[in-house]
A = this chain, B = another copy of it.
Amino acid sequence: MERLRIGLIGCGTVGGQVYKILKRKRRNLYWKTGILFEVVKVCDKAKKRRKELKIPSSLFTTDPHQVTNDPNIDIIVELIGGTEEAFEYLCEAIKKGKSVVTANKALLSEKGRTIFDLCEENRVYIGFEASVAGSIPIIKTIRESFIGNNFSKLLGILNGTTNFILSKMTHLDIDFNQALKIAKEKGYAEAEPYFDISGLDSAHKLSILTKLAFNKSVSWRNIYTEGIDRIEKMDVEFARELGYRVKLLGIAKKDRNILELRVHPVLLPATHLLSLVEDVYNAIYIEGDLIGNSLLYGKGAGGKPAASAVISDLVEIGMKLKMKNYGNMKFREDSTLELLPFDEIKTKYYFRFTAVDKPGVLAKIAKVLGEKNISIASVIQKKESPQKAVPIVMLTHPSKEKNVSEALKIIDKLDIIKKPTIKIRVEEEDGNI
């Protein structure tokens, strides 16, 4: 085979770029690979795309099944997002013996295992580099480049929108809503940014990385996920004062056969490389027994970076199809691995209590913490608030999540406490970066 006949479903931000780049770089890609990457059918439910992208009428359809069922197509690129329809089209294509490329993190984090199994059964390839962190080659790096490693830890800034908001809060000294507004104006946040802000988008991506790095299928539904909307300007400032930055991280840690997964804002030492990842950039920090630690950094979103990843998948699968015999690395499942219940995690904490400005307040809080075995590492208490309620900021030594939530439940009911306490976990076992 010297031609790879491509069917493209969805030509929005990413799909549109894929179409344009394949056209513009066709000759260059042929020169590099010996393969002619030819888009033979394009589907989008929005008819206007045809004109916008100058797609010949003969290639364009609004019916996805015309793509998935076309016997002249070798590979389907699905870039519509959403889970139900995308799942239907992918399965249809795979069953017809077509390889697939997708950027659909929601779908893979929910039905990855089913889709991977279906691909192996039908002896077709699947590429999904664009599903996590845009142009950053984290999928290939974990699956191939670091294949000799056993991983112990992965920390990822996996969502550009939330990283942009936190960056702006840190450097422009503005609050969450102001930062969100800028993000929307710049096109970095959608009109309805719930999936980003809530951490769910990061959880989808962490689920996919977990499958690859730890050979374990875990739906995003089973990953503890907390967003950034409760972080106030004040927390970002206190964090700075204490030598930290606030970041939304996807966290995976493995200790023997116990796997710990979570997505939430953290205080990260200001000197950690991940603390220096600003704006819409993404980065993944990973530790393995051979590599030590490593970091990959780049653009996590946007048409061109994601298209770059899609094209690398197309080339890889094109090269494999050219060799005719099927040969794929299996998606393995490690049945010995168990998930750590979230209550059992142990980490340092940042607390911000909002308390009345009276003597003895700190003693009352400290008493509850002591009873729950939570030991205090440092306290910042700001005096003389005009509102008669002052923030008390505390860093703890490593403590159990269960004890912390129990303690905060009790503390928040004390009459000296004026608002629900803000709790941010601190990520810094070992300053080895």
Which residue of the partner chain, among B34, B273, B319, B332, contacts A297 with CB atoms under 8 Å? B273
Cα(A148)–Cα(B311), bound, Å: 6
Which residue of the partner chain, among B273, B290, B299, B319, contacts A291 with CB atoms under 8 Å? B299
Q: Is A330 within 8 A of B290, CB to CB?
A: no
Cα(A34)–Cα(B328), bound, Å: 9
Q: Is A315 within 8 A of B144, CB to CB?
A: yes
Chain A interface residue count: which class?
35 or more
Residues of chain B with a CB closer than 8 A to A319's CB: 327, 329
Residues of chain B with a CB closer than 8 A to A25's CB: 148
Looking at the assembled complex, report how far the CB atom of A313 sits from the nearest CB atom of chain B, in whole angstroms.
Answer: 9
Most chain-B CB neighbours within 10 Å: which of A29, A141, A144, A291?
A291
A422 close to chain B: CB less than 8 A: no
A140 close to chain B: CB less than 8 A: yes
Residues of chain B with a CB closer than 8 A to A276's CB: 273, 276
A48 close to chain B: CB less than 8 A: no
**A275-317 residues at the B interface, CB under 8 angstroms:** 276, 288-299, 302, 304-305, 307-309, 311-312, 315-316
A89 close to chain B: CB less than 8 A: no
Cα(A295)–Cα(B299), bound, Å: 10
A325 close to chain B: CB less than 8 A: yes
* Contact digits for A132-158, partner B, Cβ 8 Å, 1 yes 0 no: 000111001100111111100000000
Query: A137-B145, A146-B137 given as contacts; is B290 within 8 A of A305 (CB)?
Result: yes
A323 close to chain B: CB less than 8 A: yes
Identity of the chain B residue whose Cβ is nearest the Cβ of A319 in the assembled complex: B327
* Contact digits for A9-43, partner B, Cβ 8 Å, 1 yes 0 no: 00000000000010001001101111000000000
Query: A25-B148, A276-B276, A294-B136 given as contacts; is B323 within 8 A of A32 (CB)?
Result: no
Cα(A352)–Cα(B98), bound, Å: 64
Residues of chain B with a CB closer than 8 A to A136's CB: 294
A54 close to chain B: CB less than 8 A: no
Query: A21-B148, A276-B276, A312-B145 given as contacts; is B31 within 8 A of A332 (CB)?
Result: yes
Q: Is A292 within 8 A of B297, CB to CB?
A: no
Ordered by A's residue number, 16 sampled pairs between the chains whose C-beta atoms are within 8 Å are A21-B148, A21-B290, A28-B150, A137-B146, A140-B140, A144-B316, A145-B312, A148-B308, A273-B273, A273-B297, A290-B305, A290-B307, A290-B311, A293-B298, A320-B323, A325-B325
User: Ordered nearest first, which 8 A-B pairs have the shortest CB separation?
Assistant: A137-B145, A294-B298, A148-B311, A290-B308, A135-B291, A295-B297, A323-B327, A323-B325
